[in-house]
Amino acid sequence: MHQATNLEQLGQRVVNQVKASLAEGIAPTNIAILVRVYAQTPYIEQHLIQANISYWGADLVPFYRRPEILDFLAFAQLAKLEVNRFTEPRITETWQEAWNRVKRTPPIRYLNPSLKEWIQERVAVDQASLTQVLLSLEPDILQERTARSVSALAKWLAIAPEAPCAKTALEQLDACINYREHLKQRGGFKEAGPGKVAGVEAIIHYANQQGTLLAFLEHLERLQAQVTQARQTPHHCIRLTTIHQSKGLEWPVVIIPHCNQGTLPFGENLTYEELEEERRLLYVAITRAQKELHLYTLKPQPLSQFLQEARVVETLQRTEQLHQQLQSDPQTWQAGDVAKVVKGVASLGFDRYFRQWWTVAPETQAAIAHTIQRCLRAAQQQQILHHLGLEEEHLEPWQAIAPLPDAGTSSLDFPGLESFRNRAQPSATLASRDRPASLASNLLGNLRRQERVQHEKFGPGVVMAVEIQKVNSEEIITVNFEHAGTKRILITEKFCTLHRL
């Protein structure tokens, strides 16, 4: 998990992670940045470009080539042509393309169609200066606000080519035509406007340290040529694409920015079906990672409700604690260490991982599995297994990894067990007939193993186990569903998808 305080910092930190992965020898094609929508990419692309890191996506339009950016930069193209004038037919075509964009953008869009045609003829045919033509318009034929904006634009066209800084010139243009406010009001739906505004802010920010406005436009032309080449050689590029486009693909390193409410899930006031579809999309995204998964959030915004429900920060902390314990020598473990490992593996749902994908050396696996079995068998023989918060079934995954050779003759003691012998506390993890009232009993009645339940999505099944999470007052119900197999179902005070049959 990584945090950033604003979009600029988020883009920088995402790209820093890409650079770190490349420095470790990871190939560009083994790195992917997955976004919910392409409106998230401008600041990321900006920093990728500055870092000279090539990127591509099957349907990705670079942020500086998106319609709202091209419309904005069309004003800059007209300013450039105020200097170059019409020395050859190609320049006339370029002017016409830019004018077609400008005339549908404020303030020119508010002019009478016949007036726009007159302006076009004066400039393209008579080769008059657009600045002079706009200044010559009679104020009484325009609305007062439009007249002020047209006059300001005309003056900007005259001075912009001489501005020493492209960023300053574009900021002045935005102030003249109030472009970002225009995008906010014409976003189509409420998420689109801010996304387009972010693109404009990113292009203005990117123009900094790029020289004059004319030099910046030439830089963008060269950049587009590089993008065209990158599409022809994607094996040299990292992948920047949407979660939808990533289905069926995997990468060793996956980066997911904007794991915040409003982006994942996308939108507000979603129906149950829409919310579950967004949940599945996040699941798709996080399961694209083969080795490393990096989640980025914007600190001022609420964390994604899906990550909140998964208690992601606490889960990662517990996982790191488990990792640190497993890195230590199992011969030095005390009974409390064993209990933490066993309960951590069970509560985090890592049983299958340790059986199928645990990649440490076989002798290390055996040493850890044997240590755990010796401790649990000693506690079992002394009838204090439940004092550790464990039951007999906790032995099973470790027996499957590496059976204890001397299972019948092992010592009846284990270091640290003496501190548990006089304890009389109930099991803290698995359901029993004597356990205290819980979420399951409050929400579902006194739920026990082998009882039948119904899930909203998975249908009917049989309860296999109930795990009580003492720290966060949640429960995980393990259910063997008739058609979906064994699933672990989370129950919170506000969220329950099971009911009894």
Q: Each residue of 128-152: pLDDT tens digit?
A: 889 999 998 877 777 888 888 999 9
310: in domain: no
Residues forming beta bridges with residue 469, ordered by sequence position? 474
Q: What is the mean pLDDT of the chain?
A: 86
141 or 36: which leads in pLDDT: 36
User: Is residue 355 over pLDDT 80?
Assistant: yes
Instruction: Give the DSSP H/E element, type plus range, for residue 295.
Output: strand 289-298
Pick from 389, 443, 441, 385: nearest CA to 414: 385
Total count of domains within the chain: 4
**84 plus 213 within the same structural domain:** yes
60 domain-assigned: no
Do 211 and 188 have their domain in common?
yes
Q: What are phi and psi of 471, to 5 degrees?
A: -70, -40
**Residue span of the structural domain in which 451 resides:** 439-500
Mean pLDDT of the 460-489 span: 76
Please give the structure tokens belonging to residue 37: 């929508």
Place of tokens 């599409």: 231
| pLDDT higher than threshold 60 for residue 435 | no
- Do 126 and 75 have their domain in common? yes
pLDDT (average), residues 428-456: 57
Q: Is residue 224 part of a domain?
A: no
Place of tokens 């079934």: 393
- Using one digit for the tens of pLDDT, what is the confidence trace for 50-94? 898 999 998 889 989 999 999 999 999 999 988 876 566 666 788
Distance separating the N- and C-terminal Cα atoms of the chain = 40
Coil, helix or strand for 330? helix
Query: How far is it, in rounded angstroms, from Cα 496 to Cα 488?
Result: 12
pLDDT of residue 23: 97
pLDDT digits (tens, 9 = 90+) for 21-30: 999 999 999 9
Same domain, residue pair 7 and 138: no
Q: What is the CATH number of the domain that holds 199?
A: 1.10.486.10
Tens of pLDDT, residues 194-217:
778 888 988 998 898 789 999 999
Both tokens of residue 280?
């599945």
Same domain, 178 and 282: no
Two structure tokens written together for 229: 């080449």
**Phi and psi of 205, rounded to 5°?**
-65, -40
pTM, entire model: 0.70
CATH number at residue 486: 2.40.10
